[in-house]
Structure 1
Amino acid sequence: MACPATAQTNITGFGPVQISVGGNNGLGNVDTAVQVLFVITMLSLAPSILLLMTCFTRIVIVLSFIRTALQLQGSPANQIIIGLSLFMTYFVMAPVWENINRDALAPYQAKQITSTEAIEKASGHIRGFMLKQARPKDVELFVSMAKLQPTKPEELPLRVVIPGFIISELRTAFQMGFLLFVPFILIDLVVATVLMSMGMMMMPPTTFSLPLKLLLFVLVDGWELVVRSLVRSFGM
C-alpha cells in the first residue's frame, strides 16, 4: 500500500505545496480591491454619465433636429450623428476632464489622496459644469421638492443638480431646434403656395422643397453654423 504513494512522490518531484494569502493578517491588498471595484462601477455608470452629466444631450438632440427639419429619413445616419456628438462632447468637456485629471485622478494614482477625496474632487468639477449650464429655476425646482434648506450652489448634492441640469439641457436643445425649423418651414410654405397657384395640387411639395432646403443649407454652410452655435452655447 505504500508503493503507490512513493511512486506518486517520485513522479511529481515536488514537496508539499502550501497556499497562503499575503498582506497584513492575511487580508490581502484591500486598496487594490477598492480600485477594481471603483473601475467596474465607473464602467457600468459610464453611459449614464456620458449621456446625462455632459453636453452630449444637447448636441445629439440638436443634430437630430437638423435631420428632421431637412426631412431626411436616414441621412446622416444615426451612427454619424452619435459619432459627431461624441467627438463634440469630448471637445467641449476637455477642460473639465483636464481639471479632474489634475486634481483627482493624478493625485489618487500617486497615492497622495484617498479614493473618497478623489471622488469628491471629481464630483466638484462635474457639479461646477452642470451648475454653469443649468438654469437656476430648474435646480431650485428639485431643491424645493427635496425639501432642502437654502445653501450655496457648490454644496448642492448631485441628486438635485443632475435632474435640474438635464431639464435645462432639454429646454435649450428644443429652443435651438425651433430656430433651426423656422427657415425650412418657410421654404415648405413658399413651395406649397407656388404649387397651388400653378394648379399642381397633386404634386408633393417635398419634391421641390427638399432640394431647396439642401441648397440653402449648403450655401449658408449650415454645418459650420450649427457646430459653432452649439460650442458657443456652452460659453466657449
Structure 2
Amino acid sequence: MKKRHWQITLLLLSVCICFFAYHPNLYAATVSNQTNSFLPGLHLSLGTSNSRQSVDSTVQIVLLLTVLSVAPAILLLMTSFTRMIVVLSFVRSALALQQSPPNQVLIGLALFLTFFVMEPTFQQANQHALQPFLAGKLSESAALRQAEIPFKQFMAKQTRPDDLQLFLQFRHMQTPKNVNQIPMSALVPAYTISELKTAFQIGFMIYLPFLVIDLVVSTTLMSMGMMMLPPVIISLPFKILLFVMVDGWHLVVQSLLSGYS
C-alpha cells in the first residue's frame, strides 16, 4: 500500500512538470502575477538633465546628507557635550558604580545640558544665518559664514590661548586680532583639548573626597585584620551616603553650568 502511494505521488509530480514544460507562458504568467501581488517594485533611473534647478536640488540633497553624516562630530567637538559627558563619567567612576546610572542616562543628561548651554548660540545662528537663508536673502556660503560666528565666539571664550597658539604655530599663522578671523581647522581642536583639560580638572576634584573614604576604609580593615574583605564593599555605601547628603548631582551640574556663564 505504501509503495502504491509513492507511485501515485511521483505520477502526479511528473504530470505537473510536463504540463508546465509544454505551457511555459502559463508558468511565467503565474509567477508574474504572484510577484506583482506580493513584492513591491523599486525603479531607479540615472540620466542627464538640462534643467539647472534639478541639478542644484540634487547637489543640495548630497550636501545635506554629508552634513547629517558629520553632525555627531559637530555636536561632540563644537559644543559643551565633551566636558559634560567626561565629568559625568568621572562621577560614576568615583562612586565605583559600574552600570548605575546607565550610559543612556548619562548621555541623555549630557545632551540636555548641552542644549541648555548652547541655546543662545543656536538662537544667534538661527536668527542671523538659517532664517535669512530660508528666506532667500543669503546664499549657502554666506549663511555658513554667518553661522560660524556665534560658534567661534563661544569656542574662543572657552579655549586656552596656549592651546590655540599650538595649532596656529603649526599652520605658520599669527594670532588673529579678531575672533572671527580664527580658522575653524585650528579653533575646533584647540577648543576640544581645552575642554578635555577642564573636564579632567573637575574630575580630579570629584575624586578627592571619595579617595579619602577609600583610604579610611582600607586602613580600618587592615587594622582589624580583615584583609580578605574587599574595601569597596564597605566604602560603597559610605560614598553613596556622602554623595546624597551633599546633593552631589546638584553640585556637579552647578559647577558645569557655572563654567559657561
Q: TM-score, normalised by structure 1?
A: 0.86
**For residue 188 of structure 2, what is the aligned residue in structure 1?**
162
Fraction of identical pairs, as percent: 50
Once the two structures are superposed, residues 155-196 of structure 1 have per-residue CA deviations (whole angstroms, 9 ceiling, x without a partner) of: 010001011001100100000000000000000011111111
The question of 1:77 aligning with 2:64 is answered no
The question of 1:27 aligning with 2:52 is answered yes
- 2:70 partner SS: helix
Structure 2: gaps (5+ residues) = 1-47
- Choose the corresponding residue for 1:62, options 63, 68, 87: 87
Distance 2:129 2:55 in 1: 20
The question of 1:87 aligning with 2:112 is answered yes
**For residue 112 of structure 1, what is the aligned residue in structure 2?**
137
CA contact (8 A) 2:165 2:175 kept: no
- Matched pairs, number: 213
Give runs of aligned pairs for residues 112-191 of structure 1, distance below 5 A.
112-152=137-177, 153-191=179-217
Larger Rg: 2
**For residue 220 of structure 1, what is the aligned residue in structure 2?**
246
Once the two structures are superposed, residues 77-133 of structure 1 have per-residue CA deviations (whole angstroms, 9 ceiling, x without a partner) of: 111111111111111101100000000000000001111110001111111111011
- 1:28 partner SS: helix
Shift of 1:202: 1.5
- Choose the corresponding residue for 1:209, options 213, 219, 235: 235
- 2:136 partner SS: coil
Distance 2:180 2:73 in 1: 22
Shift of 1:29: 4.4
Question: What residue identity is the alignment partner of 1:108?
Answer: F
**For residue 37 of structure 1, what is the aligned residue in structure 2?**
62
Question: What residue identity is the alignment partner of 1:151?
Answer: P
Distance 2:55 2:153 in 1: 32
Alpha-carbon RMSD across the aligned residues, in angstroms, is: 1.5
Question: What residue identity is the alignment partner of 2:249?
Answer: W
Q: TM-score, normalised by structure 2?
A: 0.78
Please, which moves more after superposition, 177-186 or 146-155? Answer: 146-155
Poorly superposed stretches of 4+, deviation over 3 Å: 29-35
Question: What residue identity is the alignment partner of 1:218?
Answer: V
CA contact (8 A) 2:81 2:111 kept: yes
Question: What residue identity is the alignment partner of 1:95?
Answer: P
Once the two structures are superposed, residues 177-233 of structure 1 have per-residue CA deviations (whole angstroms, 9 ceiling, x without a partner) of: 000000000000111111112221211111110000000000001001101110111
Distance 1:58 1:160 in 2: 19
Shift of 1:31: 4.7
- Choose the corresponding residue for 1:194, options 220, 224, 245: 220
**For residue 234 of structure 1, what is the aligned residue in structure 2?**
260
Question: What residue identity is the alignment partner of 1:102?
Answer: Q
Shift of 1:26: 3.0
Distance 1:68 1:188 in 2: 13
